[in-house]
C-alpha cells in the first residue's frame, strides 16, 4: 500500500495567494477611503477616525472569537505586534489627514509608492533577493506615480508630503509584519491595529471635543469599518504568505479604484499624463506577475 506524502507549500503558490490577497485588500481600502472622506466632510478628522475605528475594533474582536482564537488575545501585547501597531497608527493618521485635504486620486497615487519603499526595506532588513527586472518594474510603477502627482514647487504641498511620509511608514509596517511569529493569528494582529488607531483617535477627540453625528455619517463609517477590517486582515495575510517585495508591488491595483471613485463621487477627471501614469502602474504590476509565471515554469 502506498502512502501519500504531503509536500510543503510551493513558494510560487504562496506568492500567488499573497498577490490575490493584496489586490482584494487594495480594493477594500479604496472604498473605505471614499466612505471616510465623505463622512469627514461634516465631521472632525479625529472623530471620524474614532467612530470608524470603534466599529472596526468590534468587528475584529467578533472575528477573533468566531475563529476560535480567544486564547491568542494576550498576544496583542507581543512586542512585535505592538511595534507593528504603532507603525500602522502613524501611517493611518498621516494618510487620512492628507486624504481629507486633497483629492482621493492624488492621495492614493502617492500611497502607491509603497512598493518602492518595501523593495528597499526588504533588501536591507530581510535580505530578500530582488532581480533587476523586478527593480525595473517597480521603478516604472513609481515613474507612473510621479506622472500623476507631477511634483513641482507649486504643486507639491504639505499634505502631499504628509501622504508620502505615511507611504514610507506603510512600507516599514509591511516589512515588519514578517518579524511576527506564525503562531500569532493574523486576525489578532488586525485587532491590535484597529484598537491602537481607535485609542489614539479617542485622545484626539478628547482634546478637540465631540460633535453631534447624523445617522448618515454613522452609516458611512460603519460600512467603512467593515471594508477596513477586511483589508487589514488581507494585507497581513498577503505579507505573511509571499515575498514582501513581490506581493507589495500589487498595491498598484488600488489606483484604478481610486480614480474611478474620484471621478464618480467628486468629479476628479484624470488628464493625459495621469492616464499615462496609470498605464505604467498597471503595466508594472502585470510584468511582475509575468515574471512570477516565468519562475514557476523554470
Q: Where are the domains of the chain?
A: 11-297
More confident residue, 199 or 138: 199
Tell me the pLDDT tens digit for each residue of 146-163: 787 776 666 556 888 898
Cβ contacts of 41 within 8 Å, gap of 6 or more: none
In angstroms, the Cα distances linking 89 to 66, 169, 196, 205 are 25, 10, 6, 15
C-alpha cell read off for 223: 460600512
Band (pLDDT 50/70/90 cuts) for residue 57 is very high
Share above pLDDT 90 across residues of the chain, in percent, rounded to a whole number: 38
Band (pLDDT 50/70/90 cuts) for residue 69 is very high
Q: Provide mean pLDDT across the span 181-200.
A: 91
Q: Provide mean pLDDT across the span 6-35.
A: 82
Distance CA 94, CA 163 (A): 6
Residue 145 has pLDDT above 90, yes or no: no
Least confident of 62-76, 141-155, 186-200, 264-278: 141-155
pLDDT at 252: 74
Band (pLDDT 50/70/90 cuts) for residue 94 is very high
Average predicted confidence (pLDDT) for the chain: 84
Residue 292 has pLDDT above 70, yes or no: no
Q: Provide mean pLDDT across the span 198-222.
A: 93
Amino acid at each position: 500500500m502506498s502512502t501519500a506524502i504531503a509536500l510543503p507549500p510551493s513558494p510560487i503558490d504562496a506568492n500567488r495567494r499573497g498577490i490575490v490577497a493584496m489586490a482584494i485588500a487594495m480594493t477594500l481600502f479604496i472604498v473605505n477611503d471614499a466612505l471616510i472622506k465623505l463622512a469627514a466632510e461634516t465631521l472632525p478628522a479625529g472623530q471620524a477616525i474614532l467612530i470608524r475605528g470603534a466599529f472596526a475594533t468590534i468587528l475584529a474582536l467578533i472575528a477573533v472569537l468566531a475563529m476560535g482564537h480567544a486564547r491568542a488575545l494576550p498576544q496583542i501585547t507581543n512586542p512585535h505586534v505592538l511595534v507593528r501597531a504603532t507603525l500602522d497608527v502613524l501611517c493611518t493618521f498621516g494618510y487620512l489627514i492628507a486624504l481629507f485635504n486633497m483629492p482621493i486620486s492624488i492621495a492614493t497615487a502617492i500611497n502607491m509608492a509603497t512598493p518602492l519603499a518595501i523593495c528597499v526595506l526588504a533588501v536591507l532588513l530581510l535580505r530578500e533577493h530582488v532581480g533587476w527586472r523586478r527593480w525595473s518594474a517597480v521603478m516604472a510603477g513609481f515613474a507612473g506615480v510621479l506622472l500623476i502627482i507631477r511634483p513641482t514647487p507649486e504643486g507639491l504641498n504639505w499634505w502631499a508630503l504628509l501622504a508620502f511620509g505615511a507611504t514610507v511608514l506603510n512600507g516599514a509596517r509591511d516589512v515588519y509584519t514578517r518579524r511576527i511569529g506564525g503562531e500569532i493569528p493574523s486576525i489578532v494582529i488586525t485587532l491590535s491595529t484597529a484598537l491602537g488607531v481607535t485609542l489614539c483617535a479617542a485622545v484626539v477627540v478628547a482634546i478637540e471635543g465631540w460633535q453631534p453625528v447624523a445617522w448618515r455619517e454613522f452609516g458611512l463609517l460603519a460600512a467603512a469599518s467593515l471594508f477596513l477590517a477586511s483589508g487589514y486582515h488581507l494585507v497581513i495575510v498577503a505579507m505573511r504568505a509571499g515575498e514582501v517585495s513581490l506581493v507589495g508591488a500589487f498595491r498598484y491595483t488600488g489606483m484604478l479604484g481610486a480614480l474611478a471613485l474620484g471621478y464618480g463621487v467628486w468629479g476628479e477627471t484624470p488628464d493625459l499624463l495621469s492616464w499615462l501614469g496609470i498605464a505604467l502602474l498597471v503595466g508594472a504590476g502585470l510584468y511582475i506577475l509575468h515574471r512570477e509565471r516565468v519562475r514557476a515554469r523554470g
